[in-house]
């Protein structure tokens, strides 16, 4: 009996049936590289938690510090710029991981700077890129802490724009945290909308859980109303504004709890500082659970992980409307949005919540439901894994045309 045309093709291509079966049974190999700065550390922890129990895949985790100390990062001119240092450290650390796994089928990156100069690797391995900002979006939003020396009109910045645009264009898919960053990718960098999915980081609701007993205990608790602030960068996050409120006569009976390792200023008797709580720790979760209100009068932020955690714990939130925070909070429903440095607005909003226990509970519950519906780790992780499987299966084919 003559072999079928299909079987002849398999033989001619050197890909016999047993090899095909071996490929089908082989575990998928994925790289997860994350620039570990700010809230990205929690994103990394949550990704590991969400993916840990998945079968039929091998994962290589690659955290890149804000200031990597690999030998290559100390060589000029690499040592001069953060983007160069981050990319060089990523390149150096990827090599042994790739040898260990025998290559990667796809990659997930959080932060464009860590892959800016991985030219060959980006061409070889299809990737999804998650990001909380673009340079032009950050400049428009005056996010000076993210890009302190960025001037869009300078020659250096124009060159950076070309290089950054190539990173975005080569990605099989882009996963911005917010709608503002999505719009920047489309209008500033010419990325087709069909290659973009807004995907905020997910909260692990298995540990950030809230029961009816927790809510009832919060309402039964005797004593002053408790306000919690969570932020490493005390001044940028507006901690000094809350200190002013704490020292005012009208809030002298309110407790202010600061979860930060950079507290500055005298602490009145109604101020409590917690400087050793770690990400996703029982102590941190307890700080939210024991509070009545969350406040973050931040002056500059791309997003707000702490606000998501507070909403997950059923707290009404008062937050500055900067960066992508407007995507998180529904004004008047799950919290209040205020302008940066608007002490009068902070005072009015805090007075409203202090005087209205029932309103606090209703607003907090709406926030919890919003996190369950829009910011659940299980849902965001499933989206990432489905996407990686898709781009590895089709070889990451993508258009690279610019506008």
Asked whether residue 152 is assigned to any structural domain, the reply reads yes
Q: Are 318 and 160 in contact (CB under 8 A)?
A: no
Residues 353 and 388 in one domain: no
82 shares its domain with 167: yes
Say what the pTM is.
0.89
- Tell me: do 78 and 183 sit in the same domain: yes
Q: Looking at the predicted structure, is the pLDDT value of residue 261 above 70?
A: yes
At 34, the pLDDT band (50, 70, 90 cuts) reads very high
278 and 132, same structural domain? no
pLDDT digits (tens, 9 = 90+) for 218-235: 989 889 999 999 999 999
Residue 82 or residue 277, greater confidence: 277
Task: Identify whether residues 226 and 159 lie together within a single domain.
Answer: no
Q: Are residues 279 and 290 in the same domain?
A: yes
In a domain, 344, yes or no: yes
- Whether 207 is in a domain gets the answer no
Size of the chain in residues:
403
Distances, alpha carbon 394 to alpha carbons 85, 113, 388, in Å: 32, 26, 10
Contact 315, 293 (CB under 8 A): yes
93 and 122: one domain? yes
Q: What does the alpha-carbon distance between residue 187 and residue 197 come to, in Å, rounded to a whole number?
A: 15
Contact between 135 and 59 under an 8 Å Cβ cutoff? The reply is: no
128 and 158 together in one domain: yes
Strand boundaries in 113-178, DSSP class E: 127-131, 173-176
User: What pLDDT band is residue 101 in, cutting at 50, 70 and 90?
Assistant: very high
Radius of gyration of the chain (CA): 24
pLDDT in tens, 15-29: 544 444 444 457 899
DSSP 291: -
282 and 188 part of one domain: no
With respect to residue 249, please indicate whether it lies within any of the assigned structural domains.
Answer: yes
Q: What is the rounded distance in angstroms from the CA atom of residue 176 to the CA atom of residue 129?
A: 8
Domain range enclosing 113: 5-202+377-393
Mean pLDDT of 306-331: 97
Question: Mean per-residue pLDDT for 98-112?
Answer: 94
Mean pLDDT for all residues in the chain: 89
Please give the backbone phi and psi of residue 213, each rounded to the nearest 5 degrees, phi first: -65, -40
326 within a domain of the structure (yes/no):
yes
Counting residues of the chain whose pLDDT is more than 70, the rounded percentage is: 91
Residue 398 lies in a domain: no
**Would you give the DSSP letter of residue 277?**
P
- Asked if residue 190 and residue 47 are part of one domain, the reply reads yes
Q: Within a domain: residue 172?
A: yes
pLDDT interval class at 374 (50, 70, 90): very high
Lowest-pLDDT range of 176-180, 193-197, 394-398:
394-398
The residue with greater pLDDT, 397 or 240, is 240
pLDDT at 69 over 60: yes
CA–chain centroid gap for 292, Å, is 25
Residue 151 and residue 296 in one domain: no
Query: Which phi and psi angles does 112 have, rounded to 5°?
Result: -70, -25
Number of CB atoms found within 10 A of residue 334's CB: 24
CB 299 within 8 A of CB 236: yes
pLDDT of residue 4: 43
Among candidate residues 317, 324, 335, the one with its CA nearest the CA of residue 301: 324
Domain match, 183 and 268 both: no
Any domain includes 399: no
Contact 363, 333 (CB under 8 A): yes
Other beta carbons less than 10 A from residue 73's beta carbon: 19
Give the domain CATH number at 124.
3.40.50.2000
Q: In what order do the strands lie in the sheet with 106-110?
A: 57-65, 28-36, 106-110, 127-131, 173-176
Question: Which pLDDT value is given to residue 25?
Answer: 55
Total domains present in the chain: 2
């Amino acid at each position: 009996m003559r072999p079928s045309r299909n079987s002849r093709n398999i033989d001619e291509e050197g890909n016999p049936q047993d090899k095909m079966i071996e490929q089908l049974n082989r575990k998928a190999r994925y790289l997860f590289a994350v620039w570990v700065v700010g809230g990205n550390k929690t994103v990394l922890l949550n990704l590991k938690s969400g993916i840990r129990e998945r079968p039929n895949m091998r994962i290589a985790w690659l955290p890149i510090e804000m200031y990597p100390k690999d030998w290559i990062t100390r060589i000029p001119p690499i040592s001069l710029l953060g983007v160069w240092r981050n990319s060089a450290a990523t390149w150096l650390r990827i090599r042994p991981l790739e040898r260990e796994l025998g290559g990667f089928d796809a990659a997930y990156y959080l932060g464009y700077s860590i892959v800016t100069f991985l030219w060959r690797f980006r061409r070889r391995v299809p990737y999804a890129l998650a990001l909380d900002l673009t340079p032009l979006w950050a400049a428009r939003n005056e996010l000076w802490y993210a890009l302190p020396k960025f001037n869009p009109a300078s020659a250096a910045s124009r060159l950076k724009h070309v290089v950054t645009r190539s990173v975005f264009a080569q990605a099989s898919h882009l996963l911005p945290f917010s709608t503002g960053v999505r719009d920047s990718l489309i209008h500033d960098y010419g990325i087709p909308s069909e290659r973009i999915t807004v995907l905020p980081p997910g909260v692990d609701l298995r540990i950030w859980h809230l029961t009816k007993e927790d809510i009832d205990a919060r309402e039964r608790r005797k004593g002053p109303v408790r306000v919690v602030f969570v932020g490493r960068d005390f001044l940028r996050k507006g901690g000094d504004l809350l200190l002013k409120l704490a020292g005012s006569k009208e809030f002298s009976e309110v407790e202010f709890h600061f979860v930060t390792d950079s507290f500055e200023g005298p602490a009145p008797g109604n101020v409590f500082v917690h400087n050793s709580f770690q990400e996703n720790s029982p102590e941190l979760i307890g700080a939210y659970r024991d509070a009545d209100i969350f406040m973050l009068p931040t002056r500059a932020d791309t997003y707000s992980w702490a606000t998501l955690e507070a909403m997950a714990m059923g707290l009404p939130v008062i937050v500055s409307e900067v960066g992508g925070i407007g995507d998180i909070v529904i004004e008047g429903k799950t919290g209040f949005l205020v302008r940066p440095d608007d002490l009068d607005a902070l005072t009015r909003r805090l007075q409203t919540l202090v005087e209205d226990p029932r309103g606090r509970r209703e607003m907090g519950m709406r926030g919890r439901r919003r996190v369950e519906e829009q910011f659940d780790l299980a849902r965001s992780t499933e989206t990432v894994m489905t996407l990686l499987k898709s781009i590895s299966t089709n070889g990451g084919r993508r258009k690279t045309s610019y506008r």
